[in-house]
Copies of this chain bind each other. A is one copy, B any other.
Amino acid sequence: MLLHTLYLVGIVAEAMTAALAAGRRSMDWVGVALLGCVTALGGGSARDVLLGNYPLAWVKHPEYLAFTAGAALLTILIARVMHHLRWAFLVLDAVGLVAFTIIGCDVGLRMGVPVPIAIVAGMITGCVGGVLRDVLCNDVPLLFRAELYASVSVLTGALYLGGLHLGLAHDLVMAIAMTFGMTLRILAIWRKWNMPKFIYERDLH
């Protein structure tokens, strides 16, 4: 129940970042709504298509599409004040990342995949939406370049599945994993933590 609420927070946060990215590319209102839906629901859709888990969430619950498109369009109205909300926004985005990750792990477990793949399912749920957003905006995905995002997702998923494996109470494990993931994500943004970069300039051909 709580997880479902946090999921809704997450899709709203993802739809709103997508709307701002759409605005930076001067997309029209249709583009804003579409990019919001693809970004917010694309991670879960990619997971379900890769695992063969039908029907997809938004096919069963068309209201998610309306909700997401609505959040994206609303962003147009409040864009002017969004930078004042920067920190609130990054927190909501972190909530979304960890909620998506845990939901993805749960789907993986329910489908009986090996544990490492359940962690990957969590990471795909948390991260692929942003990759699709960046590809559609003609950017190299941020996920591949900077910030601890995929790593936060993987560590959160590993902690969650590890806790369940140890037989701890489900709600406790979830609370610990989410707190850990959100703290790590927010610290990483605040302290500007980054993974080392690989720079290569030759052309092999």
Residues of A within 8 A of B (CB): 17, 19-20, 22-32, 34-35, 45, 49-52, 54-56, 58-59, 62, 65-66, 76, 79, 82-83, 86, 89, 113-114, 116-117, 120, 131, 135-141, 143-146, 150-151, 189, 194-205
Contact = CB atoms under 8 A, between A and B. Distances in A.
Contact of A34 (B27, B143, B202): B143
B89 A34 contact: no
A28 B144 contact: yes
A144 B29 CA distance: 8
Minimum-distance CB pairs A-B, first 8: A23-B200, A31-B144, A52-B54, A28-B195, A62-B116, A27-B144, A23-B198, A138-B140
Given A198-B22, A198-B76, A28 B146 contact: yes
Oligomer copy total: 3
18 contacts: A22-B200, A24-B200, A24-B201, A25-B145, A26-B198, A27-B140, A27-B145, A28-B198, A30-B151, A30-B195, A31-B145, A51-B54, A52-B55, A65-B120, A66-B116, A79-B200, A83-B202, A138-B140
Contacts of A20: 200, 202, 204
Contacts of A22: 144, 198, 200
Nearest to A23: B200
A53 to B, nearest CB: 9
A27 B198 contact: yes
A26 B145 contact: yes
Given A28-B144, A35-B144, A83 B204 contact: yes
